[in-house]
Amino acid sequence: MSRRLAVTPENGPPWIIVMASEHDPKSPTLSRYRRKRDFLVTPEPAPSASSLSAGGNLHFVVQKHWASRLHYDFRLEHDGVLLSWAVPKGPCYDPKEKRMAIHVEDHPVEYSDFEGTIPKKQYGAGTVIVWDRGTWEPVGDPKESMNIGKLVFRLHGEKLAGLWELVRISKPGDRQNRWMLFKKRDEWARPLADFDVIKALPDSVTTHPLGLIEAREPKAGHARIRAEPELDLSAAIAAPLPAKLEPQRATPASSLPTGGDWITEAKLDGYRMLARIDRGRVRLFTSGGHDWTKKLASLAAEVESLPVSSGWLDGEIVVLRDGLPDFGALQEAISSPIQAHLIVSDRHPVGHWVCVVRQSCRSYSEVVSSIASQLKDFGDVVHNYLGEQPRCLRTRRHGKPMRSIRGHPPS
Which residue from 121, 128, 130, 153 is spatially nearest to 140, judged by alpha carbons?
Answer: 153
Of 96, 65, 64, 62, give the one whose Cα is nearest residue 82: 62
Which residues are within 8 A (CB) of 16 and not within 5 positions of it... i.e. 6 or more apart?
4, 5, 6
Cβ neighbours, 10 Å, residue 399: 9
Q: What is the DSSP letter of 31?
A: H
For the stretch 270-289, what's the b/e string if a residue is b when 16 or more beta carbons lie within 10 angstroms of its beta carbon?
A: bbbbbbbbeeeebbbbeeee
Buried b (16+ CB within 10 A) or exposed e, 73-86: bbbbbbebbbbbbb
Q: Which residues are catalytic?
A: 267
Distance of CA 67 to the CA centre of its chain: 27
Rounded to the nearest 5°, which phi and psi values hold at 87? -115, 100
In whole angstroms, give the CA distance from residue 214 to residue 218. Answer: 7
Q: Which of 378, 374, 381 is nearest to 402 (CA)?
A: 381
What type of residue is 221? G
CA separation, residue 63 to residues 67, 129, 130, 312 (Å): 12, 5, 5, 49
The helix/strand/coil state of 168 is strand
Cβ(270)–Cβ(333) below 8 Å: no
For 136-154, b/e burial (b = at least 16 CB within 10 A) is: bebeeebeebbebbbbbbb
- How far apart are alpha carbons 202 and 331 in whole angstroms? 53
Of 122, 132, 110, 157, nearest to 64 by C-alpha is 132
